């Protein structure tokens, strides 16, 4: 495989390589949706825009077969229902994907309710797209983006709620830090997981590791993934990438 990876320029920002995030936008205002789509795609993010809750439901149901949605931006007033109720149901299903709520200024009660039932942040309309981007990036830095309850990559499945990971139907025997590292890697695969994001995200879960220890956990995990059809590549000075193994790879 050609290596090192080519990093798109948009990935490097404030010294942190953010990678192409996978976002779901639920917004029925065509003007706002179009502006955000153009903006985010221009940044190299993968965006799916839905104009109704029904459409969003099918986009999220498709999660398992494709790359998991890492962050939801949710408008509250939608043609087929209320975003607050939708968010409540979403959280009841134990789905932990971060959600940023967009709300009109006259719906202050909604936005308070939204936070109570599990929005990670909110923004009042009309808003500055720069500010929305800043909030998205803040969630990403705190390691909250990419923490869906289950993730899949190739033959690997990672179930946050169960605390287990599988290769096909076989349980992978992992120590807690290895499990978390795998979740972080899968959430970004096949994109780069910056080393700093990895270390910060582990610290956030009270699983502190030093710089060299991070390398140790990654190496152990790499060995445990042998035969899984995936492999962890190290991009020196940047971080790690979980990739599908080539036929010639030991993984």
The residues binding Ca ion (CB under 5 A) are 28, 75, 77
Nearer to Ca ion, 75 or 178 (CB): 75
Q: How far is the C-alpha of 36 from the C-alpha of 17, rounded, in Å?
A: 21
Q: Six-digit token pair at 91? A: 């959280």
Taking Cα atoms as reference points, which of 57, 16, 21 lies closest to residue 39? 21
Contact, 43 vs 65, CB < 8 A?
A: no
Q: How far is the CB of 102 from Ca ion (least distance, A)?
A: 8
Contact, 37 vs 48, CB < 8 A?
A: no
What sign for the dihedral angle of Cα 27, 53, 133, 235? negative
Q: How far is the CB of 234 from Ca ion (least distance, A)?
A: 45
Tokens 């290596």 belong to 3
Nearer to Ca ion, 79 or 210 (CB): 79
Nearer to Ca ion, 18 or 78 (CB): 78
Tokens 């200024």 belong to 105
Q: How far is the C-alpha of 166 from the C-alpha of 228, rounded, in Å?
A: 9
Q: How far is the CB of 124 from Ca ion (least distance, A)?
A: 13
Nearer to Ca ion, 57 or 77 (CB): 77
Q: How far is the CB of 43 from Ca ion (least distance, A)?
A: 23
Contact, 195 vs 205, CB < 8 A?
A: no
Nearer to Ca ion, 96 or 125 (CB): 125
Q: How far is the CB of 167 from Ca ion (least distance, A)?
A: 42
Helix (H), strand (E) at residue 115: helix 108-116
Q: How far is the C-alpha of 197 from the C-alpha of 113, rounded, in Å?
A: 30
Q: How far is the CB of 75 from Ca ion (least distance, A)?
A: 4
Nearer to Ca ion, 28 or 55 (CB): 28
Specify burial of residue 218 (Cβ count, 10 A radius: 0-12, 13-18, 19+): buried
Residue nearest to Ca ion (CB): 77
Nearer to Ca ion, 19 or 114 (CB): 114
Q: How far is the CB of 28 from Ca ion (least distance, A)?
A: 5
Contact, 198 vs 207, CB < 8 A?
A: no
């Amino acid at each position: 495989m050609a290596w090192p990876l080519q990093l798109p320029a948009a990935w490097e920002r404030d010294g942190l390589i953010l990678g192409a995030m996978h976002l779901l936008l639920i917004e029925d205002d065509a003007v706002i949706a179009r502006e955000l789509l153009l903006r985010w795609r221009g940044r190299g993010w993968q965006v799916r825009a839905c104009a109704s809750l029904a459409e969003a439901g099918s986009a999220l149901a498709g999660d398992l077969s494709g790359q998991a949605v890492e962050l939801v931006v949710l408008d509250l007033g939608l043609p087929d229902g209320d975003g607050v109720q939708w968010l409540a149901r979403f959280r009841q299903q134990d789905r932990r994907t971060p959600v940023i709520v967009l709300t009109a200024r006259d719906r202050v009660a909604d936005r308070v309710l939204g936070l109570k039932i599990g929005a990670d942040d909110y923004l009042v309309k009309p808003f500055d797209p720069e500010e929305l981007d800043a909030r998205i990036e803040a969630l990403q830095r705190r390691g909250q983006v990419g923490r869906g309850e289950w993730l899949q990559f190739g033959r690997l499945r990672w179930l946050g709620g169960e605390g287990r990971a599988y290769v096909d139907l076989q349980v992978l025997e992992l120590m807690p830090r290895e499990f978390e590292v795998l979740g972080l890697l899968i959430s970004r695969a096949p994109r780069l997981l910056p080393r700093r994001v990895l270390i910060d995200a582990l610290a956030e879960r009270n699983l502190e590791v030093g710089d060299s220890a991070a390398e140790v956990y990654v190496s152990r995990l790499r060995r445990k993934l042998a035969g899984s059809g995936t492999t962890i590549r190290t991009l020196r000075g940047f971080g790690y990438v979980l990739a599908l193994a080539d036929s010639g790879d030991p993984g």
